[in-house]
Amino acid sequence: MRPILLSGHERALTQVKYNADGDIIFSVSKDHVVCAWFSHNGERLGTYHGHQGALWTVDVDPTSTLLATGGADNTMRLWEVKTGKLLKTWDFATSIKRVEFSPDGRQLLGVTEKRSGHLSTIVVYEINPDPAAEQTNEQSLRIVCDESKATVAGFSYMGKYIIAGHEDGSVSQWDAKDGEYMFSEQIHEPDMQVTDLQWAPDRTYFITASKDKTAKLVSTNELRVLKSYSTDTPLNSAAITPVKDYVILGGGQAAMDVTTTSARQGKFEARFYHKIFQEEIGRVRGHFGPLNYVAVHPRGTGYCSGGEDGYVRVHHFDKAYFDFMYEVEREQANL
């Protein structure tokens, strides 16, 4: 496969996302600009300007009309995907580390950073899906994480729960209707930050990536670890591939150590593991900095990765990827 190299950003990428149909990729970086790209040829559709600080996170609603972003300028913003127009700005006391739309696109979740005097919170807004409508200022839900700050969060299937990953390696569950705390589980090593949380297509389970060099597949209802994938480098991101039973893990040693190690030692590769057998099946190299985020095409035809090196690499899988099967899988398929 020949990856498409997107070099529209001037600083490290922080998140990349496909829209629901997989034809557009949204990328945010520390250079304050949001970019939208066509995934099939890497053509840039446009840029969204307005943020005054590094951007940490981006998400698009299921109909690809609204785009939400959050960044270090302490704002969460809503954009019209088509025109790049800024629709709404919500101001906070601290930076926004993660935004995510609910599966129906009617709610938007934001995770705020913990800083002196301010605890980390998860806020939820009701969203009017019409881009012309006025968006509310009122938070429909506000969850304060007083034990350990939340780093990532998302809506479960049907928007029933809010699942959050924490700085101390735990994952917790809240009721998304009334914000009631359900329970939490220590999924990763203590004090090893959960760096990413991405959903399976049906959102009944998700994958978490952590600085403890592992990624775990966790069930939504019981927060039970279903599968574990261990690597030799701190992970920044993990994604589940549809169609084929793989997971893609991205990482590399911390950005601050990059200059002291060669690209070879740095392990700046996307790692493919078999989802069921938990075995590594291959790697894709290319970045010369840690991978900050990996995102998979919703149809499972490709993936893209955003690196600390400022590039987005878009990959379209070729035949070998789809043909690969374990012996037992092949037997099963031939039955």
Partner 1 sequence: MSRVQGRTDWAEEEDEDSLQLPQQQITKNKDGTETITTYSVREDGKKVKTTRRIKKTTIKQVVNPRVAERKQWAKFGQEKGKPVGPQTDTTSVAENIVFRPVANWKASAEDKGEAEKKKQNLKDAKIKCRICSGDHWTTKCPFKDTMAPEGADAAGSVTDDVPETAGALGGGGGGYVPPHLRGRAGAGEKMGGKYERDDLATLRVTNVSEFAEEGDLREMFSRFGHVTRVFLAKDRETGRAKGFAFISYADRSDAAKACEKMDGYGFGHLILRVEFAKKST
Nearer to partner 1 by Cβ, of 21 and 202: the residue is 21
Partners of 27 in the β-ladder? 16, 35
Tokens describing residue 253: 């040693």
Nearest alpha carbon to residue 71 among 115, 125, 126, 34: 34
DSSP per residue, 279-317: -EEEEE---SS-EEEEEE-TTSSEEEEEETTS-EEEEE-
Nearer to partner 1 by Cβ, of 36 and 162: the residue is 36
Nearer to partner 1 by Cβ, of 56 and 246: the residue is 246
Q: How far is the CB of 52 from partner 1 (least distance, A)?
A: 16
Q: How far is the CB of 2 from partner 1 (least distance, A)?
A: 5
Helix (H), strand (E) at residue 266? helix 263-266
Q: How far is the CB of 28 from partner 1 (least distance, A)?
A: 13
Q: How far is the CB of 233 from partner 1 (least distance, A)?
A: 14
Helix (H), strand (E) at residue 110? strand 107-112
Cα–Cα distance for residue pair 158/176, rounded to 1 Å: 10
Name every residue whose Cβ is closer than 8 Å to that of residue 38 and which is 6 or more positions away in sequence: 23, 24, 25, 44, 45
Nearer to partner 1 by Cβ, of 222 and 279: the residue is 279
3-state DSSP assignment of residue 52: coil
Nearer to partner 1 by Cβ, of 180 and 279: the residue is 279
Binding-site ranges for partner 1 (CB under 8 A): 1-8, 21, 23-24, 33, 37-38, 41-49, 64, 82-84, 246, 272, 279-286, 313, 315, 317-318, 320-321, 324, 326-327
Q: How far is the CB of 63 from partner 1 (least distance, A)?
A: 8
For residue 301, count other CB atoms closer than 10 A to its CB. 18
Nearer to partner 1 by Cβ, of 41 and 259: the residue is 41
Cα–Cα distance for residue pair 320/297, rounded to 1 Å: 17
Nearer to partner 1 by Cβ, of 63 and 219: the residue is 63
Q: How far is the CB of 324 from partner 1 (least distance, A)?
A: 4
Q: How far is the CB of 250 from partner 1 (least distance, A)?
A: 15
Name every residue whose Cβ is closer than 8 Å to that of residue 218 and which is 6 or more positions away in sequence: 171, 185, 187, 205, 206, 207, 208, 224, 225, 226
Q: How far is the CB of 143 from partner 1 (least distance, A)?
A: 34
Place of tokens 């990349």: 16
The total number of residues written for the chain in this structure: 335
Nearer to partner 1 by Cβ, of 63 and 136: the residue is 63
